[in-house]
């Protein structure tokens, strides 16, 4: 024990002496006594005082002064490195090693610099000035804090008054045509009486400039706004000079191909992607949309549209060149893949062999052939025996025409899909699927459309205004599919699970969970399903892989016939909101319902349309597909091999919700792990949900509407996770526990569930 105490004192006392060493230098407010380099003053903390309008985090973004931020072991290395260097009796190899380490650490130590501090004080004043605080004064002082004994650089802010906006003048626009002038003046949404904000003023000016460029004024310019500060009235007057120039029509459009030994897309298809035409006024927005349209054909590597000097130009006309550089049209890509399925919440790994032709018939048609064997549900593989591994083999083709026509203010595309799947459901039962989607039509709307128009001004509350803001959908998908599903080794599966039955309820469990597969096995025809689907998608996320703002929403309805007699609806909403200090709050809500026609007759619901809960993208306190409202026979199944049968039969009702607080470490100071740590993040999360109305004859009628929103009928889970960003999304590791288990009607903290995945949970 004495040795342990000695070691503790030996290592920690020098560390404390480094952190809290006394500083005998004299530093006055705004002025430092100059010392030789060996006596530079280290900054151990940077603080702000007197700031109310801006928080500390916002002020830190505009200054260059930083405090030394070394870890525990880095402080120890620096302390002992300095002492080894002074000890001439120390071995040369040891001194050389410490010299190298200390030299690397030296770049991370931050010193007080009067010139930088002066510049930082002016930068803070400028930030305040942009928000109307023209009379703000910022001073600084450096010294040891009398309480914490930490050497601190403190910026003291005297904010003063904030100016109001008095007048806003757009000069040089009076000669514009009346329709254009009217649109330009509409951009002055920031009006007298508002608190002055340079950012909002600039937004208005940029909007006016955009109107000019979209109305033919290619040579339009504007000077930076001139602000007059009226000290007597504490107000500002803003004057902006516009120079529209002459209005330009498009006289000539030249399409230039850089083929790179690839076959050309037909001229008609290329011209159909252009939103502007000869004889029309120049329109920058139409040009940007045209570039987007051409990229969406997936045939071009580079698309640019610019003016040409030697074209058919005059003082009122302009010529444009559309330059298209072709990408490689035939590619064969083998790859190791990690993906997830949205139906059963699996994270899967496998290999993928894909052949792609991006211009097979000369009009940018795409043909893709693929072969994809994969292991299903990595989380289950990590915890189960080898014999329980599930796998699936997929192969098929997709043919698509990225553009067919414009209709209802939308661009429409077409695709054809064929998929063959062979997968294990439960040993020895397998499912063979032929899936043909002969016609999928996708509409990309130029202007988002609302679906829930009932949320009108009659219910103008904060909640309805929030949801009305989410009621915008950019994409519509209409498709019909025909499926053939057939169980393989059904008879041997039924014999296996009937062979060791001891109780009547076990007999019932086997019949219940194999019911829909028996319907398929007895069905005499090849095609088992014909399904029509409609899906609306609204996407306002600022990033596909790591969103920090915006939302994503889907509404989907499926209707099936033949043997699959069902109607299925699903709603998904995810919302992302940035907060303070690198935190993002993320929310998810998901609702689903299946109406099963003829649930006690000859009918079934295709496996891919079942609702499951639990897993890495669902309620994370449970393994994938294992969270469901219990049936009377489940008590027996939980204690024997029959339990696995429950995983192949989903439910007709789904309720899910999640909350995540996401923290990103962000850019780090330079040290040997900084590049890794800067890509990492942490997540604290809470999940809830359950599935009801098992897709069995008795289970389908088990739950009532009251059960769906009864907190005691839902599973509740919470946990922590790690994230590491990659080019294809964050790798994640989540650890969750059950706050409340509806199956046992109590907490279950001993049950720890680990999930691995690619991409955020939502």
What is the value of pTM for the model shown? Answer: 0.77
When mean pLDDT is compared across 254-263, 464-473, 658-667, the lowest value belongs to 464-473
More confident residue, 476 or 673: 476
HEC sequence for 63-100: CCCCCCCCCHHHHHHHHHHHHHHHCCCCCHHHHHHHHH
Task: Encode pLDDT of 562-577 as tens digits.
Answer: 999 999 999 999 999 9
3-state secondary structure of 280: coil
- Pairing of β 715-724 and β 221-222: unpaired
3-state secondary structure of 329: coil
More confident residue, 10 or 244: 244
3-state secondary structure of 666: coil
Residue 73 confidence (pLDDT) above 60: no
* Cβ contact 345:376 at 8 Å: no
DSSP assignment of 536-584 equals EEEE--S-SSS--SEEEEEEEEEEEEET--EEEEEEEEEEEEE-STTEE
Percent over 90 (pLDDT), the chain: 56
Please state the rounded mean pLDDT for residues 448-471: 70
Please state the rounded mean pLDDT for residues 181-197: 89
Where would I find the H helices in 107-197?
Answer: 114-129, 178-186
The most distant pair of C-alpha atoms in the chain lies apart, rounded to whole Å, by: 95
What band does 499 get if pLDDT is binned at 50, 70 and 90?
A: confident
Residue 6 confidence (pLDDT) above 60: no
Please state the rounded mean pLDDT for residues 587-598: 95
Task: Encode pLDDT of 351-402 as tens digits.
Answer: 999 999 999 999 999 999 999 998 877 666 655 544 556 788 999 999 999 9
Q: What angle do CA 223, 227, 232 make, to 5 degrees?
A: 165
- Please enumerate in sequence order all residues whose Cβ is within 8 A of that of 339, keeping only pairs 6 or more positions apart, or say none: 347, 348, 374, 758
Distance, CA of 433 to CA of 393 (rounded, Å): 11
Q: What angle do CA 683, 688, 693 make, to 5 degrees?
A: 145
Tokens of 154: 């403190």
Residue 32 confidence (pLDDT) above 50: no
- Please enumerate in sequence order all residues whose Cβ is within 8 A of that of 594, keeping only pairs 6 or more positions apart, or say none: 566, 567, 568, 605, 609, 610, 611, 652, 653, 693, 695
Task: Encode pLDDT of 305-350 as tens digits.
Answer: 999 877 666 789 999 999 999 999 999 999 887 766 655 556 778 8
Distance, CA of 594 to CA of 608 (rounded, Å): 12
Percent over 70 (pLDDT), the chain: 84
Distance, CA of 274 to CA of 403 (rounded, Å): 12
Please state the rounded mean pLDDT for residues 484-496: 92
Residue 640 confidence (pLDDT) above 90: no
Cβ burial 479-489 (10 Å sphere, 16+ → b, else e): bebbbbbbbbe
Q: Mean pLDDT score of the chain, rounded to an integer?
A: 85
Q: What is the pLDDT of residue 713?
A: 93
Q: What is the pLDDT of residue 104?
A: 62
3-state secondary structure of 123: helix
Task: Encode pLDDT of 655-682 as tens digits.
Answer: 999 999 999 887 655 555 666 777 889 9
Distance, CA of 216 to CA of 248 (rounded, Å): 5
Distance, CA of 362 to CA of 269 (rounded, Å): 9
Residue 19 confidence (pLDDT) above 60: no
């Amino acid at each position: 024990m004495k040795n342990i105490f000695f070691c503790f004192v030996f290592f920690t006392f020098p560390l404390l002496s480094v952190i809290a060493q006394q500083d005998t230098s004299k530093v006055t407010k705004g002025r430092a006594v100059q010392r030789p380099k060996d006596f530079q003053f280290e900054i151990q903390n940077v603080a702000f005082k007197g700031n109310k309008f801006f928080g500390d985090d916002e002020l830190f973004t505009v200054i260059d002064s930083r405090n030394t931020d070394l870890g525990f072991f880095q402080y120890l290395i620096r302390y002992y490195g300095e002492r080894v260097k002074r000890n001439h009796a120390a071995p040369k190899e040891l001194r050389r090693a410490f010299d190298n380490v200390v030299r690397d650490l030296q770049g991370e130590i931050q010193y007080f610099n009067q010139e930088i501090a002066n510049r930082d004080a002016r930068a803070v004043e400028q930030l305040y000035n942009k928000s109307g605080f023209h009379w703000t004064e910022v001073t600084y002082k450096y010294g040891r804090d009398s309480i914490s004994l930490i050497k601190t650089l403190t910026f003291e802010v005297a904010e003063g008054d904030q100016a109001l906006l008095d007048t806003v003048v757009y000069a040089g626009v009076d000669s514009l045509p009346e329709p254009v002038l009217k649109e330009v003046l509409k951009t002055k949404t920031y009006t007298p009486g508002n608190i002055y904000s340079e950012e909002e003023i600039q937004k208005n000016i940029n909007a006016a400039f955009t109107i000019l460029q979209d109305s033919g004024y290619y040579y339009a310019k504007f000077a930076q706004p001139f602000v007059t500060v009226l000290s007597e009235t504490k107000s500002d007057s803003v004057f902006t000079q516009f120079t529209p120039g002459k209005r330009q029509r498009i006289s000539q459009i030249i399409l230039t191909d850089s083929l790179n030994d690839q076959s050309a897309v037909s001229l008609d298809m290329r011209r159909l992607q252009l939103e502007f035409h000869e004889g029309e006024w120049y329109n920058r927005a139409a040009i940007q949309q045209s570039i987007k349209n051409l990229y969406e054909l997936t045939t071009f590597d580079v698309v640019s549209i610019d003016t040409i000097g030697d074209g058919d130009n005059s003082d009122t006309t302009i010529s444009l060149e559309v330059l298209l550089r072709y990408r490689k049209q035939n590619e064969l890509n083998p790859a190791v893949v990690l993906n997830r399925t949205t139906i059963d919440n699996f994270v899967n790994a496998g290999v993928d062999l894909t052949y792609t032709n991006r211009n097979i018939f000369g009009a940018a048609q795409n043909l893709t052939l693929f072969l994809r064997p994969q292991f299903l549900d990595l989380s289950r593989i990590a915890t189960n025996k080898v014999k329980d591994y599930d796998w699936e083999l997929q192969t098929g083709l997709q043919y698509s025409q990225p553009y067919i026509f414009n209709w209802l203010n939308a661009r429409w595309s077409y695709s054809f899909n064929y998929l063959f799947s062979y997968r294990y459901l439960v040993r020895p039962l397998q499912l063979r699927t032929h899936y043909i989607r002969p016609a999928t039509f996708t509409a990309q709307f130029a202007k988002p459309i609302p679906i829930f128009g009932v949320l009108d001004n009659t219910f103008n509350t904060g909640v309805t205004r929030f949801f009305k803001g989410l009621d915008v959908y950019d994409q519509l998908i209409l498709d019909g599919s025909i499926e053939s599903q057939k169980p393989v080794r059904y008879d041997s599966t039924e014999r296996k699970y009937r062979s060791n039955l001891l109780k009547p309820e076990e007999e019932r469990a086997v019949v219940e969970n194999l019911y829909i597969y028996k319907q398929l096995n007895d069905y005499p025809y090849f095609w088992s399903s014909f399904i029509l689907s409609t899906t609306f998608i609204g996407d306002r996320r600022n990033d596909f892989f790591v969103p920090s703002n915006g939302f994503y929403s889907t509404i989907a309805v499926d209707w099936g016939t033949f043997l699959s007699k069902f109607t299925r609806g699903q709603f998904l909403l995810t919302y992302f909101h940035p907060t303070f200090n690198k935190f993002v709050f993320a929310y998810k809500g998901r609702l689903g319902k299946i109406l099963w026609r003829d649930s006690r007759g000859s009918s079934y619901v295709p496996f891919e349309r079942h609702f499951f809960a639990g897993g890495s993208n669902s309620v994370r306190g449970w393994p994938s597909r294992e969270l469901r409202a219990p049936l009377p026979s489940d008590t027996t199944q939980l204690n024997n091999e029959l339990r696995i049968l429950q995983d192949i039969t989903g439910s007709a009702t789904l309720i899910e919700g999640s909350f995540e607080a996401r923290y990103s470490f962000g850019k780090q100071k330079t040290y040997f792990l900084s590049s890794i740590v800067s890509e990492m993040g942490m997540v604290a999360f809470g999940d809830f949900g359950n599935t009801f109305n098992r897709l069995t004859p008795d289970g389908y009628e088990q739950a009532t509407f009251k059960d769906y929103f009864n907190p005691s009928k839902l599973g509740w889970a919470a946990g922590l996770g790690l994230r590491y960003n990659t080019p294809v999304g964050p790798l994640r590791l989540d650890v969750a526990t059950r706050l409340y288990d509806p199956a046992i009607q109590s907490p279950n903290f001993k049950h720890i569930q680990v999930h691995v995945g690619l991409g955020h949970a939502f």
